[in-house]
């Protein structure tokens, strides 16, 4: 009997994706863990690996196909004995692809724990993904007591959550807030846009990432009443501390950026002003006790926001190391969903482009985003005397449904104080 390879759900909110590229061809022999294809989701391009061994007998969805629904058979692998499963119905042509699903707030929800099952019979093969097997081996956990929710009953990572001792609390801690329901307005349907076809031009197909950015920014500006608060911040003390820390960290191969220190400052400021570390859901307010800072990273396919978890509680060297890794993999489209979904607030820095000041759009369902401008030499009053200092402008965008102006102003005040006296955030 052949094995059907189906379009995987690579994130909790994924309903369809683009089969960007096949990494195998018909007739290739693959084993568990081999890369089969690159799948473009609404956030990143991710590699899809085999969970079974066999020969690719038939590819039913060609690369480049858009709007492939999760669960669609995209290929057939010859099973034991070389038998091939009956070919499934071909995927619909691109021109007839179903329209994109209506907009949702992309807040991941933790996978429900798989129910325990009776131990499998002795000698029976346990079907599990390579990642699930690795996690089970590291934890010394017996997979025979778990029922798989993956293809053909295969055990996947999500099935282990709640099954292993001590796993459930961790999963709960990482869970994001429930998605806003009553407050979210109906999405605006796309309308044809007129343009002058007589002007020399070329057409570029929108990636799933670009479509998602457009939808979410439209949703944010239409449904969230933004309030903007700006402060000017003197950077001299922070730049001096950064230089001293980099000398101390040089033997460890760590080099802090100004952005690393600003991430830390925002994390600490959110903890010190908890009324701004919130999510509005329509009928209740979610108050976070940890500051997970999403950091805007520009990639060839669009903006993505990898997350520094517990930015207030970890060291600046850890922030620097994590940020370099996350930004590098973000540019390659290699982030996992858990690395960019969630977060309690965001930081966007355009100072490297010479932008003096700007107002960022809130990343729902978060309650605020900090926009960082360029540090520049400016006339500045120091000890009642006019001097020259390195100054930057920072603008906080706040969800006015959840955060009052006075509370937003308090966060901006604390953020300014932490940056101007940075020892207070690393002590």
C-alpha 360/C-alpha 229 separation (Å) is: 11
Identify the active-site residue in 133, 329, 334, 400. 400
How far are the Cα atoms of 59, 68, 223 from residue 187, in angstroms, in the given order? 35, 22, 10
Catalytic-residue membership of 400: yes
Please state, in angstroms and rounded to a whole number, the distance separating the CA atoms of residues 408 and 396.
8
Q: What SS3 class is residue 385?
A: strand
413 SS3 class: helix
Q: What is the C-alpha separation between 243 and 239, in angstroms, rounded?
A: 6
Return d(Cα 101, Cα 211) in angstroms, integer. Answer: 11
Which residues have C-beta within 8 Å of that of residue 233, sequence separation ≥ 6?
Answer: 391, 392, 393, 394, 415, 416, 419, 420
Residue-wise DSSP of 304-343: E--EETTTTTS-HHHHHHHHHHHHHHHHTT---GGGTS--
Q: How far apart are CA 152 and CA 59, in angstroms?
A: 19
Query: Among all residues, which ones are annotated catalytic?
Result: 400
């Amino acid at each position: 009997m052949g094995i059907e390879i189906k379009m995987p759900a690579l994130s909790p909110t994924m309903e369809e994706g683009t089969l960007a590229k096949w990494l195998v061809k018909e007739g290739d022999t693959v084993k568990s863990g081999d890369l089969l294809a690159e799948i473009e989701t609404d956030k990143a391009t991710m590699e899809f690996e085999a969970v079974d061994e066999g020969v690719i007998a038939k590819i039913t969805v060609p690369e480049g196909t858009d709007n492939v629904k999760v669960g669609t058979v995209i290929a057939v692998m010859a099973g034991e004995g070389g038998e091939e499963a009956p070919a499934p119905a071909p995927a619909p042509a691109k021109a007839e692809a179903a329209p994109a699903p209506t907009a949702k707030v992309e807040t991941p929800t933790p996978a429900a724990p798989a129910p325990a099952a009776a131990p499998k019979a002795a000698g029976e093969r346990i079907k599990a993904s390579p990642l699930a097997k690795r996690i089970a081996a590291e934890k010394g956990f017996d997979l025979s007591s778990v029922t798989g929710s993956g293809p053909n009953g295969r055990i996947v990572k999500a099935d282990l959550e709640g099954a292993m001792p001590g796993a459930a609390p961790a999963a709960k801690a990482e869970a994001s807030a429930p998605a806003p329901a009553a407050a979210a307005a109906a999405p605006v349907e796309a309308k044809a846009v007129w343009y002058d076809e007589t002007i020399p031009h070329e057409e570029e197909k929108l990636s799933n990432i670009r479509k998602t950015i457009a939808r979410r920014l439209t949703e944010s500006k239409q449904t969230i009443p933004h309030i903007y608060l700006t402060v000017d911040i003197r950077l001299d003390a922070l730049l001096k501390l950064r230089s001293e820390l980099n000398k101390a960290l040089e033997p460890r191969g760590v080099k802090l950026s100004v952005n690393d220190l600003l991430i830390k400052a925002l994390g600490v400021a959110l903890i010190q002003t908890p009324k701004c570390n919130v999510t509005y859901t329509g009928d209740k307010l979610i108050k976070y006790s940890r500051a997970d800072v999403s950091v805007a990273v520009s990639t060839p396919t669009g903006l993505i926001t990898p997350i520094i978890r517990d930015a207030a509680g970890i060291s600046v060297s850890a922030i620097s190391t994590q940020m370099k890794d996350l930004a590098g993999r973000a540019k390659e489209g290699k982030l996992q969903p858990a690395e960019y979904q969630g977060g309690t607030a965001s930081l966007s820095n355009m100072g490297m482009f010479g932008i003096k000041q700007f107002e960022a759009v809130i990343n729902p369902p978060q309650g605020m985003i900090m926009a960082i401008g360029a540090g520049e030499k400016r006339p500045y009053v120091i000890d009642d005397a006019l001097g020259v200092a390195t100054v930057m402008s920072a603008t906080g965008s706040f969800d006015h449904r959840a955060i009052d102006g006075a509370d937003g102003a308090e966060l901006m005040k604390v953020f300014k104080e932490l940056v101007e006296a940075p020892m207070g955030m690393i002590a």
